[in-house]
Structure 1
Amino acid sequence: MTRDERPATLAAVEAAVWQELVHAAQDRRHAWRTPVLATGLADGADARVVVLREVDAPTRTLVFYTDTRSGKVAQLLEQPAATVVMWSPALGWQLRCRVQLHLDTQGVSVLSRWARLKLSPAAQDYLSPLPPGSVIDTPTPAVLSRDDRGHFGVIYARVRSLDWLELHPDGHRRARFDAEGARWLQP
């Protein structure tokens, strides 16, 4: 989709959003490939950029990978409600997804994803002997065996609502899609 191809109806907007999400998971250059995931803390919120690995549009699920020792994992176990925010300059679209997070650390889905990932340089992210955020003396990565899946986990983010904002020279538009249905909103 391009900025000139503006979906005209709520149904067309929602379909275009999910099409872009699927595309983002497959295209490393898509702006939505690296959204911000915001989780809750007792004293506020915490946010970080994550990589969108997969999208299952029929189940309205976004998939991210994580080191199971990371702060976001502790946060999602305490409070699984979160928000994923994306911006695409090419489309002029902002997307805010209210999600329910679920962590998977075992089973076929984790093992099959690890089997693909362990052949890439990204595998080292989950094999470090130290948790993310640990203080280290030098930034030299440890080289570990890729036979062990280390601290690899999968986060499923089930989308509860989408808030879509289009910034366009011909007029801004906003819509929300959730359990109450689809509706236009004042931008």
Structure 2
Amino acid sequence: MSLINSESTLDEIKETVLSLLNRAGNDPKSAYRYIVFNTLSDDFPNARYVVLRKFDKIELELYVYTDYRSDKIHEIEANPRVSILAYDKQKKFQIKLKAQATLHYKDEISNHHWNSINSGKESYNTELNPGKPIESITEGHKLKPEIDDKYFTVIKLKIQFMEVLQLNKEGHIRAKFDFENNNEAFLVP
């Protein structure tokens, strides 16, 4: 079953996608909960899955979490323009976003998110930096003596551009939404 069809308007498509992202920020079972987050490193684009923790439908902002010591922090500091890719295999529906990333570390936003976490705080409390070479797997699981928000970071992603693609036997549907220039259109798939 397709999410959009040839009768769908641009406004309906936009509302559908924003609702999907909003649901993903609240529902761990959503197909869009785990998204591919792309930054630019020195040599190549750098892609990894992250968890969509929250979506603000009014402000068009996604929130994801990371460890302040991770490579993505340095990449965002060098170039805050990022992209996100999400796909629902069942619905055959792709969402591609371009966004401006803002880091929140040891501020009101990061404190609010830290206090809302029920489980998983250990992920931001390893003794060693993410990505550091280790001799054994267990080395990477060693935690600091105290679980705290010392390295916890929230990445706020302000959507500037959105493109969607619905794969469909009757004909694929593609549309773009440029929020920066207030421009939207259907595209040739």
Identity of aligned residues (%): 28
| 1:136–1:4 CA distance, 2 compared to 1 (3 A) | closer
Aligned letter for 2:2? Answer: R
Please say if residues 3 and 166 of structure 2, whose CA atoms lie closer than 8 Å, have aligned partners that are also in contact.
no
Equivalent position of 1:21 in the other structure? 21
Task: Say if 2:182 is the partner of 1:184.
Answer: no
TM value normalised by structure 2: 0.91
Aligned letter for 1:174? Answer: R
Equivalent position of 2:114 in the other structure? 114
> Alignment partner of 1:58: what SS?
coil
Please say if residues 103 and 154 of structure 1, whose CA atoms lie closer than 8 Å, have aligned partners that are also in contact.
yes
1:21-77 deviation per Cα after TM superposition (whole angstroms, max 9, x unaligned): 011111112121111111112322111111000000111101000101101110000
Aligned letter for 1:182? Answer: E
TM value normalised by structure 1: 0.92
1:127-178 deviation per Cα after TM superposition (whole angstroms, max 9, x unaligned): 11211011223322224422x2121000001000001000012210000001
Superposition pairs of residues 1-187 of structure 1, within 5 angstroms: 3=2, 6=5, 8-117=8-117, 119-120=118-119, 122-140=120-138, 141-143=141-143, 144-146=145-147, 148-178=148-178, 179-187=181-189
**Structure 1: any 5+ residue segments left out of the alignment?**
none
Alignment RMSD, CA only?
1.5
> Alignment partner of 2:75: what SS?
helix
**Structure 2: any 5+ residue segments left out of the alignment?**
none
> Alignment partner of 1:3: what SS?
coil
Aligned letter for 2:184? Answer: A
Please say if residues 69 and 129 of structure 2, whose CA atoms lie closer than 8 Å, have aligned partners that are also in contact.
yes
1:3-24 deviation per Cα after TM superposition (whole angstroms, max 9, x unaligned): 2664610000000000000111
